[in-house]
Amino acid sequence: MNFSVFPPEINSLLMFSGAGSAPMLQAAIAWDGLAEELSAAASSFGSVTAGLVGQAWQGPAAAAMSAAAAPYASWLNAAATQAAGAAGHARTVAGVFEAARSATVQPIAVAANRSQIVRLVLSNLFGQNAPAIAAAEAVYEEMWAQDVGAMFGYYSGASAVAEALAPWQQLLQHLPGASLLATLSNVGAANLGSGNIGSVNFGSGNTGNVNLGSGNKGNLNIGSGNLNGILNFGDGNTGSFNLGSGNTGIRNLGGGNRGNGNIGFGNSQGTAGGNIGSGNSGSGNIGNGNTGNLNVGSGNAGTGNYGFGNRGSANLGNGNLGSSNVGIGNKGSFNIGFGNLGSNNLGFGNTGNNNFGIGLTGDNQFGINLNGLNGGVGNVGLFNSGNNNVGFFNSGDGNWGIGNSGNVNTGFSNTGNTNTGFWNSGNINTGFSNTTSTNVGFGNSGNGNLGFWNAGSNNMGFGNGGGQAVGAFNSGTSGTVGFGNSGASSVGYGNSGVGNTGFWNSGNTNTGFWNSGNINTGVANAGSVNTGSGSATNTGLSSSGYGNTGTGTSGFNNHGNNTSGFENSGNNSEGYGNIGNNLTGVQNTKSNNTGFFNSGINSIGISNTANFSVGYANGGVTGNVGFMNAGTDNSGFSHTGVRNSGFSSSGTDNSGSNHAGVKQSGFDQ
C-alpha cells in the first residue's frame, strides 16, 4: 500500500479507528496459553511412554511403540516453541502499532486545520488572508509528512514481524500421517469434503461433477451455491432444472425465477416464462402480477385475461379498458355490462355507440337514462360513464369507487392512472394487483415495488425476479441483500456469483462459506485468492482476508476496490460498514445504496433520505414509493405532495385520503 498518496484525514482515521492493539495483545495471551498447553502435553506424553517402556512393558513391541511415539512428542515440543514465538511476534506488532499511533496526528487536529482553511478562504474577499492560508497549508503538509512517516514505520515493523513468522504448514509436514490430511484439499477423484474442483464431491468447495452440497458451480448439484447448472434442487441456482431458491432460468418451480418453466414466486419472463403464480411479467400466467400474455387472473395488462386488472385484450371481467369485455370497468370495445363508455355496449354506463340500456347518450341507443342514472358529467352515484364520478360503474375521470377504468381512481377495478386500491394495472398504485408504475403492495410486476410478488425493478421484499431487491427470492441483476439471490451484488444466502459476502456463493468476490473460486476469504474455496479452509489453490494474491485495502479485496476491514464483507469504505462494496460508491447492505451512505441505513442517491430499502428511494423512511425529492415519503413521485402513506396515491397526500395528482388540491379522489378529512 502506498501511504504517501493518502492525506492525513485518511491516515489518521485509519490509525485511530478500529480496535487498536487490543486484539493483537489478546492473541498474544492466547498463543502463550497454547504454548503452555502444548508444552505440558509433550511433557506428559513423554513421561507416560517412558514410564511404560521402562517398567512393565518390555521387548520389541515396547521398543516399536517408543520409536513411533517419539516423533509426536518432538512435534508437540516444536509446536509449543512455535506458539511461544507467535505470542512474542504478536506483542511486537502491538508495540509497533502503539508507536505508530503515538506518532500519528490526532484526527481532530487535522479536522481543525481543514476547518481553519475553509474559514480563511471564505473570508478572503480581498486577499488579506493569503499569509494565514499559506501558513495553515504548511502545517497541513507537515501533518501529511508526519502521518506518512508513522504509517511507513508501522508497515515496515509489521512486515518484518510477518517475514519472521514460521508457517504452520511446515510444522504440519513433520506430523506423522499428515499426508492423509493433504488429500482433503482435493482437485479431482472421489472427494467427500473440502476444497474439491472436480469428480464425485459430496460437500465443500465443489466447482464441478456430481456435487450434493456446498459451493457447486456445475453438474448434478442438489443444494448450495449452484450456478451454471445441471440438475440443481435448491439454493443459489442460475441455470438448469432448478426446484427452489434463487433460480434465474430453466425449469424453475419456486423461488426468485426470472425466465423459463416457473410455477411460483418472482417470475419475470426474461427468456419466456411458463408462470402459474406470483410476480409474472408476461408469458403463460395464471395468477398474480401478470403484464400481458395468456393471463387468467390478477394484475393483467393485456392479452388473454379472464379477470381482475385487465387493460385491454380479450377480458371477461373486472378493470377492462378496452378489448372484448363482458363485465365491469369497460371503457370501450365490445362490452356487455357495467362501466362502458363507448363500443358495442348492452347495459349500464354507456355513453356512445351501439347501446341497449341505462346511461346511453348518443349512437344507436334503446332505453332508460332518467337523468339520475348518469351517462357522464358531474356524477355522484350509480352507473356513471366518465367525468367526475364518486361511485359505481364509473369508466374513467374523477372516480372514487367501483368500476373505474382509468383516471384518478381510489378503489376497485381501476386500470391505470392514480389508483390507491384494487386491480390497478399501472400508474401510481398503492395496493393490489398493480402491473407496474410506482406500486407499494401486491401483484406488482416491475417498476417501483415495495412488497410482494414483484418481477423485477426496484423491489424491497418478496418474489423479486431481479431488480435492486432487499429481501426474499431475488434473482440477481443488481443490488440484492438477502435470501435466494442468484448473482449480482449479493450479501447473504444462496448467492451464485458476483459481489457475495456470505453463504453459498459460487464464485466472484466472496467473503464466507462455500465459495467455489475467486477472491474468497473463508470456508470451502475451490481455488483463487483464498485465506482460510478448503482451498484447491490458485493464489496469485492481491487481497483476500483481514486488514485489506485495495484491489480485488474480500473480507474484514476493507477500504476500497472490488470489496466484499465487513467494514467496507469505498468502490464496489457489499456487506456491513459501507460508506461510498456502489454499496449494497447495512450501513450504506451515498451512491447507489440498496439495503438498510441508506442516505440518498439510488436508495432502495429502510432509512433512505430520498433520491430514487423505495421503502421506509424516504425523504423529500425524488422517487419515493412506500411509508414516510415527503414529496415528489410518492405512492404509499405519508406523502407531502406531487404524484401521490394512498393516504396523507398534500396536493397534485392525489387519490385516496387527505389530498389538498388538484385531481383528488376519495376520503379527505
Task: Return the HEC string of 504-522.
Answer: CCCCCCCCEECCCCCCCCE
Number of neighbours of residue 546 by Cβ within 10 angstroms: 11
- At residue 521, does pLDDT exceed 80? no
Q: Which residue has the higher pLDDT, 2 or 557?
A: 557
C-alpha cell at 338: 357495467
Residue 201 lies in a domain: no
Residue 116 lies in a domain: yes
Residue 114 lies in a domain: yes
> What is the distance between the alpha carbons of residues 536 and 523, in angstroms, rounded to a whole number?
12
Q: What's the pLDDT score for residue 54?
A: 61
Compute CA distances 292 → 77, 251, 457, whole Å: 74, 21, 17
Band of pLDDT at residue 585, cut at 50, 70 and 90: confident
Query: What's the CATH code of the domain at 82?
Result: 1.20.1260.20
Q: What is the pLDDT of residues 95-105, one digit of tens each?
A: 888 888 888 89
Mean pLDDT of the chain: 72
- At residue 230, does pLDDT exceed 50? yes
Q: Among residues 196, 194, 168, 206, which one has the least CA distance to residue 81?
A: 168
Instruction: Please report where in the chains the cell 501529511 appears, as a residue.
Output: 144
| β-bridge partners, 317 | 307, 327
- At residue 5, does pLDDT exceed 60? yes
Compute CA distances 172 → 39, 72, 178, 182, 214, whole Å: 17, 11, 7, 10, 26
Q: What's the pLDDT score for residue 319?
A: 67
Band of pLDDT at residue 216, cut at 50, 70 and 90: low
> Which whole number is the average pLDDT over 543-567?
79
Residue 68 lies in a domain: yes
Band of pLDDT at residue 669, cut at 50, 70 and 90: low
> What is the distance between the alpha carbons of residues 328 and 175, in angstroms, rounded to a whole number?
81
> Which whole number is the average pLDDT over 554-578?
81
> Which whole number is the average pLDDT over 628-655?
81
Number of neighbours of residue 130 by Cβ within 10 angstroms: 11
> What is the distance between the alpha carbons of residues 559 and 171, in angstroms, rounded to a whole number?
34
> What is the distance between the alpha carbons of residues 500 and 660, in angstroms, rounded to a whole number?
46
Q: What's the pLDDT score for residue 292?
A: 67
Residue 21 lies in a domain: yes
Q: What is the pLDDT of residues 29-77, one digit of tens each?
A: 887 887 787 777 777 666 666 665 566 556 665 565 566 556 666 767 7
pTM of the prediction?
Answer: 0.33
Q: How many domains does the chain have?
A: 1
Distance of CA 330 to the CA centre of its chain: 40
Q: What's the pLDDT score for residue 190?
A: 44
2: left (phi over 0), alpha (psi -120 to 50) or beta: beta
Q: Which residue has the higher pLDDT, 632 or 109?
A: 109
> Which whole number is the average pLDDT over 594-600?
81
Tell me which residue range forms the domain holding 131: 3-165
3-state secondary structure labels for all residues of 406-460: CCCCCEECCCCCCCCECCCCCCCCCECCCCCCCCCECCCCCCCCCECCCCCCCCC
C-alpha cell at 483: 435470501
> Which whole number is the average pLDDT over 466-474?
72
Q: Which residue has the higher pLDDT, 331 or 8?
A: 8
- At residue 133, does pLDDT exceed 80? yes
> What is the distance between the alpha carbons of residues 450 and 322, in angstroms, rounded to a whole number?
29
Residue 26 lies in a domain: yes
Q: What is the pLDDT of residues 265-298, one digit of tens each?
A: 555 665 455 666 666 666 666 766 666 677 777 6
C-alpha cell at 223: 443444494
Q: Which of 5-9, 170-174, 350-354 has the lowest mean pLDDT?
A: 170-174
Q: Which of 227-241, 321-335, 366-380, 576-590 has the lowest mean pLDDT?
A: 227-241
Residues of the chain by 3-state class (helix, strand, coil), percent to 5: 25, 10, 65
Q: Which residue has the higher pLDDT, 113 or 567?
A: 113
Residue 631 lies in a domain: no
Residue 62 lies in a domain: yes
